[in-house]
Structure 1
Amino acid sequence: MKRLLTGLVVAALFALSGCTGDAPAADDGAAAAPAGPPCLTPVESPAAASKDGKPLPAMAVKCFDGGRYVDAALLGNAPTIINLWGSYCEPCRTELPAFQRFVTAAGGKVRVVGVVVKDSRSAAQSVIDDKKLTFPMLEDRDQQFSIALSQAVGKPVSSALPATLFVAPGGRIVHTYQGEALDEEKIRALTAGYLGIEVSA
Structure 2
Amino acid sequence: MTRFSGAATVLLAAALFALAGCTAGIDSPDPAPTAAPTGPRCIEPPASPAASAGSPSSGPALPAMALQCFVGGRWTSVADLGGAPTIVNLWASWCGPCKTELPVIQRVATAGAGKVRVVGIVTKDRHEWAQSVIEQLKLTFPMLEDPGQQFAIAASPLVDKALVNLPVTLFITADGRIAHAYQGPALDEAELRALTQQHLGVAVPS
* TM-score of Structure 1 vs Structure 2, range by shorter chain: 0.7 to 0.9
Of 38, 48, 51, which residue of structure 2 is paired with 1:47? 51
Answer whether contact 1:59 1:71 (CA < 8 A) is retained: yes
The SS at the match of 1:84 is strand
The SS at the match of 1:55 is coil
CA distance in 2, matches of 1:21, 1:112: 21
State whether structure 2 residue 206 is matched by structure 1 residue 190: no
Q: 1:99 — aligned with what?
A: 105
The C-alpha deviation readout for 1:128-148, integer Å capped at 9, x for no partner, is 000000001000001111111
CA distance in 1, matches of 2:37, 2:165: 33
The SS at the match of 1:180 is coil
The C-alpha deviation readout for 1:35-69, integer Å capped at 9, x for no partner, is xxx71111133314833111101111111103211
Q: 1:112 — aligned with what?
A: 118
Of 165, 168, 180, which residue of structure 2 is paired with 1:163? 168
Count the aligned residue pairs. 168
Deviation of 1:181 after TM superposition, in Å, equals 0.4
The SS at the match of 1:149 is helix
Q: 2:22 — aligned with what?
A: none
5 Å-filtered alignment, 1:26-175, equals 39-43=42-46, 44-48=48-52, 50-157=56-163, 159-175=164-180
State whether structure 2 residue 181 is matched by structure 1 residue 176: yes
Q: Max radius of gyration: which structure?
A: 1
Letter in 2 for 1:183: D
Deviation of 1:124 after TM superposition, in Å, equals 0.1
Q: 2:38 — aligned with what?
A: 22
Which segments of structure 1 move beyond 2 Å, counting only runs of 4 or more?
A: 20-23, 48-51
CA distance in 1, matches of 2:144, 2:201: 25
CA distance in 1, matches of 2:197, 2:150: 30
CA distance in 1, matches of 2:104, 2:62: 25
Deviation of 1:79 after TM superposition, in Å, equals 0.3
Once the two structures are aligned, what percentage of the paired residues are identical?
A: 54
Unaligned segments of structure 2, at least 5 residues: 1-35
**TM-score (norm. length: structure 2):** 0.77
Unaligned segments of structure 1, at least 5 residues: 1-19, 24-37
